[in-house]
Amino acid sequence: MDRFLLFASVLAAITIISSNGHEGLVRSAVILAFILVGAVALHIYNQKRVHKKIESLEHCRVAKESFYKEITIAQGSNFCALAFAAWLMLFVAIAYLYFLVPIILPFSYMQIPDLASSPFGFFIFGLKIAIVAALVILALDKLPESHRELKLTELYSFYIISKRAKKLIALTIPALSISIVCSAYIGTIYPAHSPIAESLALILLALSAGTLVAPIYKDAVEGLR
């Protein structure tokens, strides 16, 4: 089995297993947050580790700008666009699953009744989340060259990603779309519940999140060897 797929599955499984019932959905949110924050930390750690090794091999100090210039790999515009879309959809799917109805926090989309009852309320809500996420990503993109590791737009250029992995990352878009639809369904029937829709939305969300951060975890684990 492909290691990439293995990591994606393991990460998703952790999230899914942690959820059991309505309270489990809250727990899954915490686990998912840990996985994403862990991915950020590991990504930074990975780059530092490689940077140190290069410096030890070169026996001299290597500027970060030069290091990043040398280490990055162009992954192709189509893939980058799809990855960017996948990340935006991940944030939207998270917002739809956890903030459409009051599960984690006492406030939610349903507590903005005018928006919730608006014919285009769901679109406006999702678009606002996507715009905020895009603005954060673009703001990070403005960081200096010495902090390229923090640019989400260049995340995958630090890793070797196989075609199969790229396909899987691209596949997260339809998966996240289905997750969003399931979450929207939960919103339309609120205050009623649909455990099946909740589970499906969570599984697809967890699998997609795991797939998107799998290269980081994979590289970190392999780096430990």
Partner 1 sequence: MGQKAICLLIIAALLLSIVPAVAPAGPQPASTSSSGSSGGGGGGSGSHLSLESFTNYLVSWQKENPAKYKYMIQLLSKGNVQAYKDPSLGLLFSKNKSVNRNEELDIKFEVQNPNPIDLRIPLFVDLEVMEPGGEGFKKVNQNSMVVQPFSYTEQGKINYLQSSWPEVTTLDQIDKMGLLKEKTGEIKFRAVYSDGSRKKYSTDWIFNPPYYGVLVLNLTNRPPEMRNISLIASNKTRYNDPIEYRATIDDADGDMINVTLHILDAKGEELNNKTQRTLPGIVSFKAGEYGLFSETDAGKNFTYYYSFDDGINSNRTEIQPGPNLRRGPKLYVDRLNVTPESSNCYWWQWYTFNIRAKNLNPESYDVIFTLLSKTENSDWRTIESKTVKVGPEPQMIYFNNTEPFAVADANATFSYRIKLSEYDQNGKDIEEAVGPKINAKVVPYAIYDPVMVANLAMLIFAIVAGSLLLERKLKRGSESQESSSGKAGGNNSRDGNSTGNDKAGNTSAMFKKRD
Of 23 and 141, CB closest to partner 1: 141
Of 1 and 192, CB closest to partner 1: 192
- Shortest distance, position 214 Cβ to partner 1, whole Å: 14
Of 26 and 181, CB closest to partner 1: 181
- Shortest distance, position 204 Cβ to partner 1, whole Å: 14
- Shortest distance, position 162 Cβ to partner 1, whole Å: 8
**145 CB-near residues (< 8 Å, 6+ apart):** 64, 65, 68, 69
Work out the number of other CB atoms within 10 angstroms of the CB of residue 74. 10
Of 41 and 167, CB closest to partner 1: 167
Burial label for 45, CB within 10 Å (0-12, 13-18, 19+), is middle
What distance in Å separates the CA atoms of residue 182 and residue 43, rounded to the nearest whole number?
A: 31
- Shortest distance, position 88 Cβ to partner 1, whole Å: 5
Of 14 and 173, CB closest to partner 1: 173
Provide the b/e sequence for 162-197 (b: ≥16 CB within 10 Å): eeebbebbbebbebbebbbebbbbbbeebeeeeeeb
Is residue 205 a contact partner of residue 96, using CB atoms and an 8 Å limit? no
- Shortest distance, position 58 Cβ to partner 1, whole Å: 6
User: Which one, of 34, 27, 14, lies nearest residue 206 by Cα?
Assistant: 14
Interface residues with partner 1 (CB under 8 A) are: 50, 53-54, 57-58, 67-82, 84-85, 88-89, 92, 110, 113-114, 116-117, 119-123, 126-127, 130, 134, 138, 141, 153-154, 157, 160-163, 166, 173, 177, 180-181, 184-185, 187-192, 222
